[in-house]
Amino acid sequence: MTTVTTANESATPQEHEHHGPEKGIKRWLYTTNHKDIGSLYLWFAFIMFLTGGAMAMVIRAELFQPGLQIVEPHFFNQMTTVHGLIMVFGAVMPAFTGLANWMIPMMIGAPDMALPRMNNLSFWILPFAFAILLASLFVEGGGPAFGWTFYAPLSTTYSGDSTALFVFSVHIMGISSIMGAINVIVTIWNMRAPGMTWMKMPLFVWTWFITAFLLIAVMPVLAGAVTMVLTDKFFGTSFFDAAGGGDPVMFQHIFWFFGHPEVYIMILPAFGIISTIVPTFSRKKLFGYASMVYATASIALLSFVVWAHHMFTTGMPVYAELFFMYCTMLISVPTGVKVFNWVATMWKGAISYEVPMMFSVAFIILFTFGGFSGLMLAITPVDFQYHDTYFVVAHFHYVLVTGAIFSLIAATYYWLPKWTGVMYDIGLAKAHFWCSLISVNVLFFPMHFVGLAGMPRRIPDYSVQFADWNQIISLGGFAFGLSQFIFLALLIKACRKQGEPVDAKVWDGAEGLEWEVESPAPYHTFTKPPKID
């Protein structure tokens, strides 16, 4: 393990060292460079985040007052559906893939991803997938309006012809994710620098490695589910049609067999990010590294046996409900291990609150809120009350917005100086933090109350008793949406290199190979493998 390594003897990487990126649009179209592709993914995800956010604004504007004011119910349904699809498949997942592209090779001391051409392909099919999905909103009969979960028979019997476009775009997204995941696994498996043993890998790498396995296990199942919807709708099969011997409840089983691991696909890399940032600004080693790795793996394994907790009200026998209830609650044990480890890392640390740390601490607290409401939803008898109410909406937005999205923002503030070579505008960053933190809670916290009081989700109108809270929620929503333009302004400034130049090691407490290369990170890094003790 202590082999002193010399330059890679093959000629190709050395040739590359002499020229930088191509100029103009061709650089981005033909690039096989992991940093370029990472940037493409991140910008794409951010654009999708704003697009999906605009749809959320439509939803909140309609719900500002009871009654129907702004949009038709059918268009409202399209907004809730496409908002969900875009945020899950267009914002959160590509953003994590972008971070993986940027950071994993630098963290493990590899010159690039293992399969650079496939990397290019897996990004460049994404814009087409979302162009198709967004275009479907403009065809006759409107876009998908059956919820992002596309339950049969809503998506088969009662959907419009644009369902074909929806299915096709989900297929492309799936292929893109699968290729991305294969690339991550091969890179981590084969391209680690000499001495980078499994248990020396940074946690972001570990969590992504496990996430990638989840992706290749469940994205094909999603592809199968949308294919069945397609053939049921257009080719006369009866997978989900009782008249032909099928069963619509089976759709829910297949969908959630994909869907539950999917929620961990969207949060495990976030755990990796927080496990990287908290030790840096606590100036301590991460508490319980090995337990973090095992906890991540246990969460991933358990995620395959809890899917039916999304379906408690479909009429399962009591013993099945108990099984899924206990398995679901079991997941809070490894998740709890993680939260306690983060807190223990901060314990007696020399903490300083730089912006990435502020978002990370907010993540730990607010993600835990989301975790607790998840635990409440896991309890079968009370789930009958909470099912399909705004309580569920509050729950998954706490884990996805203040969880996944906050971790992505924290990661951006953490590594952005490494990417651009300049320190971003800290004043703007702090403004972004406080505006987001306050507005996100005004936005999502009252949803618990209206949900418990019985307000159903995915409905454009509501009973007048919910009017006050909905007005507050909508105001929080608009504020949260506007706050993200602070982030956009900051990103544009940073990418134009407006700011103080930074050293290789941007944060004094930071550890890891990415801080050993200069800032901004050169186009090619670690063409000679680094030495790791």
Given the complex with another protein, which of 467 and 532 has the nearer CB atom? Answer: 532
DSSP state of 460: S
12 near another protein (CB under 8 A): yes
189 near another protein (CB under 8 A): yes
Cα dist from 353 to 163, 272, 358, 436, 450, whole Å: 47, 19, 6, 16, 34
Which of these, 194, 246, 258, lies nearest to 221 by C-alpha position?
A: 258
From the candidates 34, 192, 284, 338, give the one annotated as an active-site residue.
Answer: 338
* 6 annotated active-site: no
Respond yes or no on whether the N-terminal peptide bond of residue 153 is cis (omega within 30° of 0).
yes
Binder of another protein out of 127, 147, 195, 481 (CB under 8 A)? 195
Token pair 């969880």: residue: 403
5 near another protein (CB under 8 A): yes
To the nearest whole angstrom, how small is the minimum distance from the Cβ of residue 371 to another protein? 28
Given the complex with another protein, which of 257 and 363 has the nearer CB atom? Answer: 257
From the candidates 122, 155, 156, 177, give the one annotated as an active-site residue.
Answer: 177
Distance CA 7, CA 529 (A): 7
- 3-state secondary structure at position 288: coil
* 275 annotated active-site: yes
199 near another protein (CB under 8 A): no
Given the complex with another protein, which of 164 and 221 has the nearer CB atom? Answer: 221
From the candidates 136, 176, 276, 439, give the one annotated as an active-site residue.
Answer: 176
Supply 377's token pair. Answer: 């939803």
Stretch that binds another protein, among 4-12, 119-127, 288-296, 491-499 (CB under 8 A): 4-12
Token pair 């799936």: residue: 174
Binder of another protein out of 23, 25, 190, 199 (CB under 8 A)? 190
Of residues 126-185, those binding another protein (CB under 8 A): 157-158, 178, 182, 185
Given the complex with another protein, which of 250 and 475 has the nearer CB atom? Answer: 250
Amino acid (one-letter) located at 231: T
* 309 annotated active-site: yes
CB 400, CB 92: distance < 8 Å:
yes
* 515 annotated active-site: no
CB proximity list for 235: less than 8 A, separation 6 or greater: none
Stretch that binds another protein, among 48-56, 95-103, 165-173, 250-258 (CB under 8 A): 250-258
Given the complex with another protein, which of 237 and 441 has the nearer CB atom? Answer: 237
Q: Which residues pair with residue 44 across a beta bridge? A: none
- 3-state secondary structure at position 149: coil
59 near another protein (CB under 8 A): no
From the candidates 34, 35, 60, 83, give the one annotated as an active-site residue.
Answer: 83
529 near another protein (CB under 8 A): yes
Tell me the number of residues near another protein by CB under 8 A: 55
Supply 169's token pair. Answer: 């775009």
CB 339, CB 369: distance < 8 Å:
no
Token pair 């099969």: residue: 237
From the candidates 155, 211, 335, 389, give the one annotated as an active-site residue.
Answer: 335
The alpha-helical segments, DSSP class H, found in 153-202 are 163-190
Amino acid (one-letter) located at 351: I
Stretch that binds another protein, among 136-144, 232-240, 298-306, 432-440 (CB under 8 A): 232-240
* 102 annotated active-site: no
CB 517, CB 504: distance < 8 Å:
yes
To the nearest whole angstrom, how small is the minimum distance from the Cβ of residue 269 to another protein? 18
Cα dist from 365 to 39, 274, 372, whole Å: 29, 12, 11
Cα dist from 294 to 219, 338, 404, whole Å: 23, 10, 20
CB 487, CB 430: distance < 8 Å:
no
Stretch that binds another protein, among 21-29, 234-242, 361-369, 385-393 (CB under 8 A): 234-242
238 near another protein (CB under 8 A): yes
Ramachandran angles phi, psi of 501, nearest 5°:
-65, 145
217 near another protein (CB under 8 A): yes
3 near another protein (CB under 8 A): yes
CB proximity list for 340: less than 8 A, separation 6 or greater: none
Binder of another protein out of 317, 350, 381, 427 (CB under 8 A)? 317
Stretch that binds another protein, among 71-79, 233-241, 330-338, 398-406 (CB under 8 A): 233-241
Distance CA 351, CA 332 (A): 27
DSSP state of 313: G
Amino acid (one-letter) located at 223: A
Binder of another protein out of 191, 229, 286, 331 (CB under 8 A)? 191
H or E, element range at 429: helix 426-452
From the candidates 41, 102, 206, 264, give the one annotated as an active-site residue.
Answer: 264
Binder of another protein out of 58, 250, 351, 517 (CB under 8 A)? 250
Distance CA 439, CA 366 (A): 13
Catalytic machinery residues = 83, 112, 148, 176-177, 260, 262, 264, 275, 309-310, 335, 338, 457
Residues that bind another protein (CB under 8 A): 1, 3, 5-6, 8-10, 12, 114-115, 157-158, 178, 182, 185-186, 189-192, 194-197, 216-225, 228, 236-239, 241-245, 247, 249-250, 253-254, 257, 315-317, 320, 529
